Structure formats: C-alpha cells, structure tokens
Structure 1
C-alpha cells in the first residue's frame, strides 16, 4: 500500500533528482544519490512503481560512477608513465 510522502530526504532525492541528467553529475553527487536510493529501497518506503524507477536510476548512476572511476584510473596511468597529456574519456566504451 503506498504511503504518503514521509518528508524523508531520501524520498525527495529520488523524485527531485530524477530529472537531473546523469552525465552532468560529478562522481560525489552521483554516489550520494545512489546511496540515498539504496537507503530508501532497503527501508521499504517506496511503492512498487517507485522502487522500479529508483532501481533504474540507481543502475544508471552505478554505471556512471564506474565509468568515472575507469577514467580516473586511466588518468593515473598516464601520469605514472611520466607523461602529462590531455585525457579524453571514451564515452561509448564499457567494461
């Protein structure tokens, strides 16, 4: 049974940030939103449809964070080789 809006910050985060383009989020912001989604889902505060939407958003946030970590790792590898050069992310690449 759907519960009325509890006023919990995580509830607002899921509905309020869902319109934010994930590509525009910095790693820390994406991770914080993902943590809020997980807390809301674990707490059982979301109706089924909202849980599914939150799951989709969380999956996208997870992929975004993983790609940013891969990009950071590549930058470190470039620096460790003693070569300081511009780094361009390969957006379409996934592991």
Structure 2
C-alpha cells in the first residue's frame, strides 16, 4: 500500500513499506554517497530522486506520529489518556 504524496503521486511500494528509521537510514546513506561524488551522473540523479521520495515518506511518518501525540489528552481526573488518532 503506497502513501499519497503532496503532489498526489504514490510512493513506490518498497519505500512505503519502510519504517521511519529504515527510510531515514537509507536517506542518510544516499546523502553520504552523493556528497562523496563518486557516482556517475545518471546514478546520482536516480539517488537524488529516491532521496526525495524517502524524505517525503519520512515527513509523512513524522506527521502521523505528531497526530498520535496530539491525541494524548488529560482526563477529568488529571490522568493521561489517549484517543485513537483518525489518520484516514
């Protein structure tokens, strides 16, 4: 199941299946390889494109986490409770 992006395009299923931590680690690895500059131009462009998709995926995961955190509420007795986030 792929995620919708800002432009309405879907993420490739391999990226959509990644956890935040996995996507971030791959993005960091891509950035390191691009900074070294040892890629051919076509490979660098493909890496940049994949990095942009990974970044979009990480941002979506962070938004989901923020929505969940925002749903944590204080009950009438001052106890912390949670409400299920409606992420649809």
TM-score interval for Structure 1 and Structure 2 normalised by the shorter chain: 0.7 to 0.9
**What's the TM-score, normalizing by structure 1?**
0.67
RMSD: 1.9
- Corresponding position of 1:46: 39
Where 2:71 maps in the other structure, the secondary structure is helix
Q: Structure with the greater relative contact order (CA < 8 A, sep ≥ 6): 1 or 2? A: 1
Q: Cα deviations across residues 20-67 of structure 1 (Å, max 9, x unaligned)?
A: 711100000000000000000000111000000000000000000001
Whole-angstrom distance in 1 between the partners of 2:20 and 2:42: 27
Structure 1 runs of 4+ aligned residues shifted over 6 Å read none
Gaps of 5+ in 2: 1-11, 76-80
**Higher mean C-alpha displacement, 34-43 vs 76-85:** 76-85
Structure 2 residue 80 is the aligned partner of structure 1 residue 87: no
Whole-angstrom distance in 2 between the partners of 1:81 and 1:21: 38
Gaps of 5+ in 1: 1-18, 91-95
Give the counterpart of 2:20 among 18, 27, 31: 27
Q: Is the 8 A contact 2:71 2:84 kept in 1?
A: no
Q: Which has the higher helix share?
A: 1
